[in-house]
Copies of this chain bind each other. A is one copy, B any other.
Amino acid sequence: MSKCEQCIVRELSSLKALTRDELLKVSSCKTSHIIKKGEIIFEEGENVNGIYCIKDGVCKLTKLSGNGKDHIVKLVTKGELLGQRSMISEEPVNLSAVALEDMEVCFIPKTEVMRFFDKNNQFSMNVMKTICGDLKEADDHMVNLAQKTVKERLAETLLYLNDTFGKNEDNSLKVQLSRDELASIIGTATESCIRLLSEFKKLDLIELNGKKIILKDVNKLKKISE
């Protein structure tokens, strides 16, 4: 079992506030997991008795809507924590987490985390700030969904993927989403998403190579996204 003291993630998440002693405790009670692409970490409605720390990989947080379709609420990646909201609210998780690529995660039981909340003020504050950041992001996202067209939202999402997760050596977006998943982020029908991607391709704004997407004209995409 790998040690938290040496884990790179420790520097990224709220966990960076933990002391050496506290980290040793986490090390001894955490469990490590390899999660394959497509596998479910947890599902909406489940009781998750702790938090997941993402050591590597990206996952999507989805919520089932009334019409039976999944909506992708957020993408979460290396260095971030999952399940904080649910743990604090003492409620089942309201979102499902599914791996978009192979992942490495550690699970830290609630009992341990709650102890840090009591003892380590800086840790509490970090978690709070993270959740506040999520809330702000959610507000922004909400306004975009309410006020922007599908085309604007697609352009914006492509830029977001580029800025947040970067690109491979061949310049294609690192996070590979299916058309269906892309549609479920921007909130539209899969066909509409595909059609707009084709349009962007014709306008030479992007290049499509199977699932790979290469942004060719970031400035024009920015203009479209407004």
Which residues of A line the B interface, CB within 8 A? 63, 65-67, 69, 71, 73, 85, 88-89, 91, 94-95, 117-118, 121, 124-125, 127-129, 131-136, 138-148, 152, 186-187, 226
Contact = CB atoms under 8 A, between A and B. Distances in A.
Q: Quick one: copies of this chain in the complex?
A: 2
Contacts of A135: 85, 131, 134-135, 138
Secondary structure call for the A interface: helix
Nearest to A134: B135
Given A131-B131, A132-B131, A146 B85 contact: no
A95 B134 CA distance: 14
Contact of A85 (B69, B88, B132, B148): B132
Contacts of A65: 143-144, 146-148
Contacts of A95: 139
A186 B85 CA distance: 26
Nearest to A67: B147
A132 B118 CA distance: 18
A12 to B, nearest CB: 18
Contact of A94 (B136, B144, B187): B136
Contacts of A69: 147
Contacts of A121: 117-118
Contacts of A136: 85, 89, 91, 94
Contacts of A67: 147-148, 226
A139 B226 contact: no
A71 B142 contact: yes
Contacts of A117: 121, 125
B88 A129 contact: yes
The 7 closest A-B pairs by CB, nearest first: A146-B187, A138-B138, A65-B147, A145-B145, A66-B226, A71-B143, A89-B132
Contacts of A85: 132, 135-136
A95 B66 CA distance: 28
Contacts of A186: 146
B139 A66 contact: no
A189 to B, nearest CB: 11
Contacts of A145: 142, 145-146, 187
